[in-house]
Structure 1
Amino acid sequence: MAVALLNLTGLGLGFVLLRRWIPAVACWLVTGILLVIALPATPDGLPVGVTVLYTALLVLAAVLGAVWGLRRPLMWPPRGPVAFGLAVVLLVVPLGAAVFYSNAREEAYQQMLLKRLTAADTAITAAEAEPIATAEPEYVTNLAAYQDLLDHHGTSRAAKLVPQRLKVFYQVVSTPYTQGDYCNAIEPLKFLRSLPAKAISASDLGPLVSFPDDPLATSLFQCGTHALGSNGDPAAAQNLNDLMTTFPNSAQAGKVEPAVAAAITSAAGGLTGSDPCTATTQITSLGTQISALSSSVTAISYGLKKDVGTVNSDVEAGTYGCAVSKYKGGDFAGAQTAMDTFVSTYPNDPNKALAQKYSIAAQIAQQDADAGKVTPTLTSGGSVSITIFNDSPDAVQLLYTGPATGTINIAACSSCKVYNSTEDAQQNACGDSGTDYPKASFTLPPGTTYLLQKSTNTNVTDYTHSDQYDAGSVYQLCAYEKNPLGGL
C-alpha cells in the first residue's frame, strides 16, 4: 500500500524504495513530459487526453508497485506503517501541484482577458483622434469586446474594469460638448445615444444611457440658433427640428421660439440701417429657415407660426426698402426691377402705389440721371396744364417725374407718318388742322419735370427731355417720329 501511494505522487518513489530503477526512471520521464506540456499554464489547461493518459499511467504505476511490494521488502524505512505514513504525507506534493496549476491556469485566464481589454482600449484610444464618422466602426467593434467580457466573463478582473472604461469613453467622446464646440458635438453625442442598440446593453450602461441626452439637446439648440439667418443655412432648421422631435418637452426645445423671435428682431433692425438690401437678404434667409420649423408641442407650434407671419411682414417691408435704397444709390435699373417685383409680389401692400411711382422715375433716370435726384411722391394734379398730341403712327407712352410722377398713354395716329428729318418735323408736326391728332391732358405742380417718351414700336428709340413749368401756365407738346434713326 505504501509503494502504491508513493507511486501516485508521480515521482516513482515507490519504485525507488523497491529498488526498481527502470520503472522509477520511467515515472520521472512521464512526469517531466507532463510538466513540459503543462507549463507555463494556459487558460485552456491541459488537453483532456493528456490528463487521462497521465492518470492511467499513475494508476498503473500504483498497481505495479503494490504487486511488487508484496514480494519484495522495502529498502527503507524498515517498517511498513512508517512507509505508509510517509506515502500519505508525500501525496501533498501532487495535490499541491494540482492546486498550484489550477491557480496558474486561472491567472493565465485573467491575463488573457486583461489583454483583450487592453487591446480594445488601445483601438478605442487610437480611434479617438479620428472624426466620429471614421471612428464609429472601430468604436462599435471594440465596445463589443467590452460587452463580451461582461456577458461571458462577468466575474473576471477585466470585466470589473469595464464600467470605469465606459465612463471614461463617454467623457472623451463628448469632449467637443464640454469645450463648447456644440456643432461638432452633435454627431458624437448621437452616437453615444445609439450605443445600447449597437454595442453595449442598456442594463450594463446604467446611468450612462441618459448621459448624452441633455448635452445633445443643448448642442442642437446652440448650433441651430447660431445658424439662424446665416445665409439660409439649412442646418439651423435641421438641428432645431431634431431637437423638437427628439426632446419635445425639454427646456432647450422651449427656448427655440423665443430665440427665433429674437433673431427676427435683430435682423429686422438692419432694415432701417445703411444697407437695407443686405438686411433684407438676411431676413429672407431667416424666413426660409423659420418656415421649415415644426413642433408637436402646441404652444411652440403656435409661436413659430406667429413668427413666420412676422418675418414675412419684415421681408415685405425690406423688399420695398431695398428697392428705395437702390434708387437713392443710383442703381436705377436695379430699382426698377426691384420695384416691379415688389408690386407683383405684394399687390396689397400700402406702398404699392408709391413703388409704381419709383419704377416710373427709375425708368426716366436710366435715360437722364438728373431725374434720379427727384424723390417720387404720391402728389398729383397742380396748376400747370399740359396737353400732348401724338403725330406718329404708333401709340406713345409718356412717363414724367418731378413735382409729380406718373404715366400718360396716347393712342396712335392712323393717318400720321414718319418724318424724314428733324427740320421737317419741327416745321410740320402736329400742324395739319385737318387731322384729329390723338391727345391726352394732365396737370402738374410747377417746377422742373423730366419726361420720357416711349413708342409701342420697339424699333423706335426713346426720347427724354426736361422743362421748367410755371404755375398757372398751359403747355402743348407734340410727339412725332423721324428717320433715319427712328428717334421719337
Structure 2
Amino acid sequence: MPVGQIAPLAPPDWWRAMAVALLNLTGLGLGFVLIRRWRAAIACWLVTAVLLLIALPATPNGIPIGVTVLYIAFLVLVAVLGALRGLRTPLLWPPRAPVAFGLAVVLLVVPLGAAVLFDNARQEAYQQMLLKRLTQADNAITSAEFEPIATAEPQFVSNLATFQDLLDHHGTSRAAKLVPGRLQAFYQVVSSPYSSGDYCNAIEPLKFLRTLPTTAISARDLGSLATFPDDRLATSLYQCGTHALGSNGDPTAAQDLNDLMSTFPGSAQAGKVEPAVAAAITSAAGGLTGSDPCSATTQITSLGGQVSALTTSVAAISDGLKKDVGTVNGDVEAGTYDCAVSKYKGGDFAGAQTAMDSFVSTYPNDPNKALAQKYSIAAQIAQQDADAGKVTPTLTTGGSVSITIFNDSPDAMQILYTGPATGTINIGACSGCKVYATAEDAQQNACGDSSIDYPKASFTLPPGTTYLLQKSTNTDVTDYTHSDQYAAGSVYQLCAYEKSPFGGLGL
C-alpha cells in the first residue's frame, strides 16, 4: 500500500487495540507507527523530546510536577486514541495482533527503565547537592578555625546549623551520615588549645562548645560530644586559675576558680582548689624569711586578695578557704614587718620609717608593735646620721648610765635616741628662755641662768655609743643630731637650746 494511504478498515481486534495503546504508552508513538498514523507519531516524538529537554540533566528536584502530570495525561490520551485507531486498522507488521501485543509489553520496559534511571540520576544529584552543602559548611568552619573564638562563634553556629538540618531533614543521605565524623573533628579542632596544654586559652573555646546543645545542634545528635567539654573545661579553669595565684594579684585567678566551683561544684578539680590555695600560701610565705622579704610580701599580699575573693557553696571547701584567708592575712602581717626591717637593714631609712609607722597603725595588736616603734625611731635618727643605722634596735630599757636633758629653748623639744637602747623623751618649752644669737653664745650661756627653772627629762641607758636626734615643735627650726660614748655608772647632764640666724638646735 502506498505511503500516506489509509488502509481500509478491518474487523475489530482488541488485541491489536491494546497493542497500539501499550506501544503509545512508551512515549515514542510506536503504536501510531504500526497503524501508520505518522503525524500522530511525530507529535509523540516532539512531546517526548520537549520532556527530555526539561528533565535532563537530572536535578535534585526532578521534573516539575505540572510537567509530569501533563505528560502522563498526554500518554493516556495517545494510548486511548491509539486503541481507538488500532481497533479496526490492520497491521502490516507483525502480521498477528497477539504478537504485536507481546512486543508492546516487552517495549514497556524501555520507558519504565528510563524512569528508574532518571530517578537514580535525580537521587544522585540530590545526594551531591547535600554533599556540596556539607563541604561548604566544612570550608566555612575551617576558614574561621584560627580566629579568636568570639569572632569565629557566629560562623561556627551558622554552619553547624547546616549539620543539624542535614540530620533533621535528610537523615538517610550520605551527607548526614558524614556529620558525626565532622562534629568529632570540629570538637577536636576547637578544643586544640586544651590538647596542647594551653589551658588559659582553652577556656573560652570549651565554654563555647558547652553552649552548642542549646544554640546550634541537639544533645541527642551530639551524643557523647554533649559532655565532651565538661571535664576539659573544669581542668582548664583549675590549671589556669591556680597558675595565676599570687601573680601580681591577677584577678583571673579568682574568676577562673570561682567559675570552676560554681559550674562544677562536685568535680574532682573543684575539690583540689583549697589544697592548691593552701600550698600557694605556704610557698609564698617561705619567701618572707628569704633575702627579699619585701617582694615576698608583695606576692603574698596579692595572693591574699585573690584568696579573699574565692567563694563556693560547698561547705567543706568554703570552710577551708576561710582558714586560708586567716593564714594569708597573718602572713601578710608578718611580711609587712619583715619587709620594714629589711628596708632598715638595707639602708632605706626613710622607707623603713614609713613602713614601720604603717605597720603599727595597721596592726596595733601585733606582738612586734613595740619593736616596730623602736625601728621607726632609729630610722628617723639614721636619716640624719647614717652611723645610727648600724645599730639594730631592741626592746632594751634602762641601764647604769643616767642622762638628764634640760631645755633652754622657747619651744618644746623631742629627743630621739638609739644605741644600746632606743626611745624618745619629750621636754616642755622654757617660758623664760630665748633663742641664742650664735653657737658661741649658746655654748657659754645655755642653761646657766640660776633664776630659770629649766624644763628637764631624765632617762637611763646601758653604756656605749648613743645617737640622739633633737627636734623642735617649731617646724622652722632645723633638727640636730649628736652622738657620744657613755661610760657605765656615769651621770650626764645635757642642755638643749636653739640658736639663730638659721633656727638651728644645739645640745
Alignment TM-score, normalising by the size of structure 1: 0.98
Is 1:281 paired with 2:323? no
Report how far residue 65 of structure 1 moved. 2.0
Is 1:100 paired with 2:117? yes
Percent of pairs identical after alignment? 85
1:137 is matched with: 154
Q: Are 1:19 and 1:75, in contact at CA under 8 Å, matched by a contact in 2? A: no
1:300 is matched with: 317
Candidates 329, 333, 346, aligned match of 1:312: 329
Candidates 455, 474, 483, aligned match of 2:500: 483
How does 1:71-470 map onto structure 2 within 5 Å? 71-470=88-487
Matched residues in 2 for 1:193 and 1:481: separation?
A: 79
Matched residues in 1 for 2:167 and 2:444: separation?
A: 109
Report how far residue 407 of structure 1 moved. 0.3
Matched residues in 2 for 1:268 and 1:219: separation?
A: 26
Is 1:29 paired with 2:24? no
Candidates 15, 23, 32, aligned match of 1:6: 23
2:14 is matched with: none
3-state secondary structure, aligned to 1:390: strand
1:17 is matched with: 34
Matched residues in 2 for 1:24 and 1:424: separation?
A: 149
Q: Are 1:400 and 1:451, in contact at CA under 8 Å, matched by a contact in 2? A: yes
Alignment TM-score, normalising by the size of structure 2: 0.94
Matched residues in 2 for 1:70 and 1:318: separation?
A: 118
3-state secondary structure, aligned to 2:276: helix
Matched residues in 1 for 2:353 and 2:305: separation?
A: 25
Unaligned runs of 5+ in 2: 1-16
Higher mean alpha-carbon deviation, 127-136 vs 4-13, is at 127-136
3-state secondary structure, aligned to 2:384: coil
Q: Are 1:357 and 1:377, in contact at CA under 8 Å, matched by a contact in 2? A: yes
Is 1:473 paired with 2:473? no
Higher mean alpha-carbon deviation, 457-466 vs 19-28, is at 19-28
Deviations 1:235-284 (A, max 9, x none): 11111111111111111111111111111111111100100000100111
Q: Are 1:120 and 1:142, in contact at CA under 8 Å, matched by a contact in 2? A: yes
Letter in 1 for 2:315: T
Unaligned runs of 5+ in 1: none
2:13 is matched with: none
Matched residues in 1 for 2:66 and 2:21: separation?
A: 23
Matched residues in 2 for 1:52 and 1:211: separation?
A: 52
3-state secondary structure, aligned to 1:200: coil
Matched residues in 1 for 2:74 and 2:116: separation?
A: 20
Deviations 1:3-34 (A, max 9, x none): 22211110011121122222212211111111
Matched residues in 1 for 2:82 and 2:291: separation?
A: 114
Report how far residue 131 of structure 1 moved. 2.1
Question: How big is the alpha-carbon RMSD for the aligned residues of Structure 1 and Structure 2?
Answer: 1.2
Letter in 2 for 1:433: S
Q: Are 1:364 and 1:452, in contact at CA under 8 Å, matched by a contact in 2? A: yes
3-state secondary structure, aligned to 1:453: strand
Report how far residue 206 of structure 1 moved. 1.2
Letter in 1 for 2:428: A
Report how far residue 71 of structure 1 moved. 4.5
Matched residues in 2 for 1:170 and 1:395: separation?
A: 80
3-state secondary structure, aligned to 1:481: strand
3-state secondary structure, aligned to 2:504: coil
Deviations 1:43-102 (A, max 9, x none): 111112211221222222223322332443223112222112211221111111112222
Deviations 1:370-406 (A, max 9, x none): 0000000001111111111111111110000001000
1:58 is matched with: 75
1:46 is matched with: 63
Report how far residue 104 of structure 1 moved. 1.5
Report how far residue 165 of structure 1 moved. 1.4
Matched residues in 2 for 1:485 and 1:275: separation?
A: 42
Letter in 1 for 2:191: S
Report how far residue 167 of structure 1 moved. 1.5
Matched residues in 1 for 2:67 and 2:473: separation?
A: 112
Matched residues in 2 for 1:391 and 1:462: separation?
A: 15
Hey, which bits of structure 1, 4+ residues long, moved more than 6 A? none
Matched residues in 2 for 1:384 and 1:118: separation?
A: 97
